[in-house]
A and B are shown apart, each in its own frame.
Chain A
């Protein structure tokens, strides 16, 4: 896998702050952000920060894990519906596979996602954990 510092920097909004887009025409909010609305086709959208809490709609426990992510195996990938109805796909962390269920309340946290090498680039991003309070 290859990653450039410019790319990590460019993609920081969605990945560090959970920034999505809001359509200026139909008003729908969505994630990941895009320069156009996938629902009504409008080319006018604006950035919005999304709520950090939601619940699990579906998930998988990944046993055959790609290189670079093996230390995380088994990896749990979930589709999460945030409090405002927007959906986000992200890994779960700090939870055991057999504790996860559909409907589980979760919240976003900033974690390390991928490392190039001991001295290389590090990609950070949003992961979700079971809601604490």
Chain B
């Protein structure tokens, strides 16, 4: 995760790609990760399917349901990742809802993540005040727990959350769920500026980023972008090449 800070220090912008593990079968995951690595993304977020993904919009929810129908589980995803023998040059981040983690056991989860080469974890329904349930085990396994901040996060909370932030901060660009959006507001720009001015780690904008216009709007106010639904949809439609211009829009000016 250190390279994220280095990238920022060098003036580069990060592109984090989200994929739903097992959408189209778990055997696709490896190819997808290798492909994305080849396109030059900064990091990959691997989503674990969950029956009740309340933070997600229809694209990711449907992908999750397809994965569940394929019999994909947290355990299987981590085992699959552990088996990989190709060279991984970028950090892998696991994004999962809390319940599968609790069921699996928080300590065992942290250990399995470490064994699978996971660098960081995002749990959208684990708010700051309840992080003790999982955080100590992740720390033990040297895995970063990514903090989320949103447009509705109050000033005091923002302060506390940023204080604990490691790796990068996930700044949610919409008051809503994940999904492909047409427009982002000026309010978002102001919010990103505020978060960035206070954050000790790079700030990445996520939720609803699906077009180069979104990236142009926020480029100067964030350190990177997280793109989910657009990639999940492109993989599902077998049109992943269509996403490359978006990746390039973020990374093409990066120092090498």
Q: Do they bind each other?
A: no
Which residues of A are interface residues toward B (Cβ below 8 A)? none
